[in-house]
Amino acid sequence: MGLFETTSAKPVAVHVLLPGFVVRGQLPVIGTLQTYLNDERRGTFSLNNVTVYGLEPGNPARSMQLEGLFVAKRSCHAILFDTILPQEETGLLPRTERLAIYTPHYCIQGDFHMGPDVLVGEFAFASRAQFIGATTVQVFPLFPPQAALPQSAPLAFVHRDVLQMHHMV
């Protein structure tokens, strides 16, 4: 068993975009995904069976294999899922808007899910959730990475605190 893994945890394959790194691993999800990710009592989440790739040129940590890794939520730009999960597992709201959002390191374009009365200009800041869900996502690095990044994902969650600006597509 990996870190924090329990018999009720469902391992889900993800890529996590961090400043200077992309992490490939298994996220052990317990319960509804949004509830698990947005639990404010926990400042970190764990990943199992991890490969960490250094992205910035000159980073000596080009690749590391680890059994487990703890990731600070506030450092996480996005969590990209390899497969789409059912709505009852993700908790995504039904309304979507096609947006491009910018973090300090990435442009993430996709169908962002939000409440029916939320203004597009305020969708991230009106949310009580730390992570904002999107589907049909494309990822564009805003720097020349030294390792390959996933270019798309059927499902992603972006941390609202790293969002710098956004616009409709």
Note the pTM of the prediction, 2 decimals.
0.92
- Rg, Å, the chain Cα set: 15
CB of 142 within 8 A of CB of 164? no
Alpha-carbon distances, residue 38 vs 96, 131, 138 (angstroms) = 20, 6, 23
Per-residue model confidence as pLDDT tens digits over 114-168:
989 999 999 888 888 899 999 999 999 999 999 999 999 999 999 999 999 999 9
Last residue of a domain, one of 81, 114, 144: 81
Same-domain pairing of 158 and 136 = yes
Same-domain pairing of 40 and 95 = no
Same-domain pairing of 61 and 128 = no
Alpha-carbon distances, residue 52 vs 16, 25, 69 (angstroms) = 9, 9, 9
Question: Domain range spanning residue 91?
Answer: 87-168
- What mean pLDDT is predicted for residues 20-48? 93
Last residue of a domain, one of 81, 107, 138: 81
Total domains in the chain come to 2
Same-domain pairing of 94 and 52 = no
Same-domain pairing of 98 and 160 = yes
Distance, in Å, from the CA atom of 163 to the CA atom of 92, rounded to the nearest integer, reads: 19
CATH code of 129's domain: 2.30.30
What tokens were used for 74? 């506030």
SS3 148: coil
Same-domain pairing of 107 and 153 = yes
CATH code of 35's domain: 2.30.30.100
